[in-house]
Structure 1
Amino acid sequence: MPEYGCFLSCEEFAPADLVEQARMAEQAGFRSLWISDHYHPWNDAQGQSPFVWSVLGALSEAVSLPVQTAVTCPTVRIHPAVVAQAAATTAVMTNGRFRLGVGTGEALNEHILGHAWPPATVRMEMLEESILIMRRLFTGEEVTHQGTHYTVRNARLYTVPDEPVPIDISGFGPAATKLAARVGDGYITMTPEEPMVEQFRKGGGGGKPVSGGTKVCYGTDRDEAVRTVRERWSNQFLPGETSQILPSPRHFEQLGPLVTEAAVRENTVCGDDVEEHVAALRAFADAGFDRVYVNQIGPDQRGFFDFYRTKVLPQLQES
């Protein structure tokens, strides 16, 4: 049976709200946390984007749950040597309960310093080199590196956990999944596709953890929940490479009207039908996932946690 966790959205909530949601998640019976790492929200309706490493410090004191970034891009906006220091400190503060989730990122967050946004193949090269640098730094030894994309000179982390921080790699296509299988400590994806899990395991992932996440909108009024999803998260229904290449929240807002309420209703669990919520999470279990994280869209966080504590998680734990 998979482990069920809660996905905290930095795009929607202020730091204090995220910490309170983490407390409610632990009380509700969720066993771990994901937290997003963004510089911008996807649109202004989401309205927030705190610095994730500050929030992680607060979470280390507020709850005892394991936590993972889903996901950090350690390639353009922040140099991997700096991400390594942040991750190592977080692992120390959480007594080893931290995993670093990484991915190739989006222009939305990574272009802000004015660097050209590389094509996907180059971004994967950069990600692999960044992982090499971070793993060397996690040893606590002095590192000098001259690579294709990064230079490190006489860098040493003095605050490191007893064990190196595990690095899980996000992948939504065959190339990224292949990279995750080859160099990752685990695999992250957002759809319950069994073929991708099989590719990861057969490509070198073996018994390493596979984690997935999904978004829902609990509410007693299904129509209102659908409208909330369309207003706040229409970006998740945009096709192709849109999410990787658009540079500003306003660009996602411009495309928002293309997403209909019917599309939201068909592709997102909205409302308070227990079986629909259970089925959405079981789909990940059936596809071979080890960990499944669920995020509640919109303001009714307390209602969501009460609903999952009393009705959804008990059914999942019985299966």
Structure 2
Amino acid sequence: MRIGYFLSTEEYAPAELLEQAAAAEDAGFHALWISDHYHPWNDEQGNSPFVWSVIGSISQVCSLPVTTAVTCPTVRIHPAVIAQAAATAGELLGGRFTLGVGSGEALNEHILGGPWPTVERRLEILEEAVALIRELWTGRVVSWDGKHFQVDHARIYNLPEQTPEIFVSGFGPKAVDVAARIGDGYINTAPDVDLVRRFKDGSGGKPAHAGAKVAFAPTAEEGWGHAHRLWSNAGLPGELAQVLPTPEHFEQASQLVTLEATRESVVAGPDPATHLEQVAKYRDAGYDELYVANMGPHYREMISFYGEHILPEVQATP
């Protein structure tokens, strides 16, 4: 398994994200994920820069591959615009860019005032969006009269030599089946053996990548405190993350997540064994790559810690 670093745009300002990207390369991380949000999950996180500006800046400070984890190319931004943005990112990164896409969350996509579709509808729209993006990446003039999108004589002039791959996220069986059908790879955040196997079987063995978080700190207790203050929303069950529309709603719902629940679910502190145990869970679930994000202020220490204690151990494991 290879280990990458996950840049959390919800928690860190643009300059901090660039600092983390460069430090991750120096520490030996394999690649970068970066989240794409209009809002943070709550006001305590306090950030949400425009991801395409950040990706352009990353291309100038490090040479690691970058994947969006994930972009919703359907409601907030038309897929024809995402196709252009991703092509430019691929050119700036020398072909080391992957477009990670998903069906989105109301938190980010409701802002233009339209209705929030059902999950089945969102997956249908996503499938058409991916097809349109691929068509635009041919470099031909494209006119498209689809069920959900229209394009009139559009052509993308700046295309990377290597067409970006498209990885598709999926957190349930229906979404996984779509990912297996239309994606070059799969994205999830849970060490779910059944979903990874379903994707691998349905796609003919295409790669599966996962994201996870840790709260590095001098003590586990301090780390859990940061995780609970900043990311208690991660403990919300079911489809709440897809349907709650505002940071205020997430703050209200997150009051139901206890500190004890955070302690039970979050890897925190400086003990290498607990971090390696989390990596092993994702490796055993069948993922090919794991991208790890930090929660809290100790991101510099976390990146150095992984470079010294975690990455060498993972690389030495067959």
Q: CA deviation at 1:165?
A: 1.4
Paired residue for 2:16?
17
- Structure 2 gap segments, 5+ residues each: none
Paired residue for 1:273?
271
Paired residue for 2:106?
107
Q: CA deviation at 1:207?
A: 2.9
Matched, 1:50 2:35: no
Structure 1 stretch displaced more, 88-97 or 248-257: 248-257
Matched, 1:144 2:149: no
Matched, 1:252 2:289: no
Matched, 1:133 2:145: no
Whole-angstrom distance in 2 between the partners of 1:252 and 1:220: 28
Residue by residue over 1:89-110, the C-alpha shift from the partner in whole angstroms, topping out at 9 and shown as x without a partner, is 0000001000000000000000
Q: CA deviation at 1:163?
A: 2.6
Whole-angstrom distance in 1 between the partners of 2:238 and 2:2: 30
What pairs up with 1:287-302 in 2 under 5 angstroms?
287-302=285-300
Whole-angstrom distance in 1 between the partners of 2:212 and 2:235: 13
Residue by residue over 1:208-256, the C-alpha shift from the partner in whole angstroms, topping out at 9 and shown as x without a partner, is 2110010000112211111111110011110111111111101111122
Paired residue for 1:119?
118
1:185 partner letter: D
Whole-angstrom distance in 1 between the partners of 2:278 and 2:244: 29
Matched, 1:95 2:61: no
Paired residue for 1:192?
191
Q: CA deviation at 1:190?
A: 0.6
- Structure 1 gap segments, 5+ residues each: none
1:278 partner letter: L
* Aligned residue pairs, count: 317
Equivalent of residue 306 in structure 2, options 280, 305, 308:
308
Query: Counterpart of 1:83 in 2: which secondary structure?
Result: helix
Residue by residue over 1:246-301, the C-alpha shift from the partner in whole angstroms, topping out at 9 and shown as x without a partner, is 11101111122211111001011011111110110121111211111000001111
Query: Structure 1 segments of 4 or more deviating over 4 A?
Result: none
Paired residue for 1:177?
176
Residue by residue over 1:109-157, the C-alpha shift from the partner in whole angstroms, topping out at 9 and shown as x without a partner, is 0000001010100000000000000000001001111111110110100
Whole-angstrom distance in 2 between the partners of 1:100 and 1:306: 28
Whole-angstrom distance in 2 between the partners of 1:209 and 1:278: 21
Do 2:169 and 2:176's aligned partners in 1 also have CA atoms closer than 8 Å?
A: yes
The CA RMSD over aligned residues, in Å, is 0.8
What pairs up with 1:213-232 in 2 under 5 angstroms?
213-232=211-230
Paired residue for 2:280?
282
Structure 1 stretch displaced more, 5-14 or 302-311: 302-311
Whole-angstrom distance in 2 between the partners of 1:308 and 1:136: 40
Matched, 1:30 2:29: yes
Structure 1 stretch displaced more, 6-15 or 162-171: 162-171
1:63 partner letter: C
Whole-angstrom distance in 2 between the partners of 1:201 and 1:309: 30
Structure 1 stretch displaced more, 25-34 or 205-214: 205-214
Residue by residue over 1:32-66, the C-alpha shift from the partner in whole angstroms, topping out at 9 and shown as x without a partner, is 00000000000000000000000000001110100
Q: CA deviation at 1:21?
A: 0.2
Residue by residue over 1:74-102, the C-alpha shift from the partner in whole angstroms, topping out at 9 and shown as x without a partner, is 00000000000000000000010000000
Identity score, percent: 53
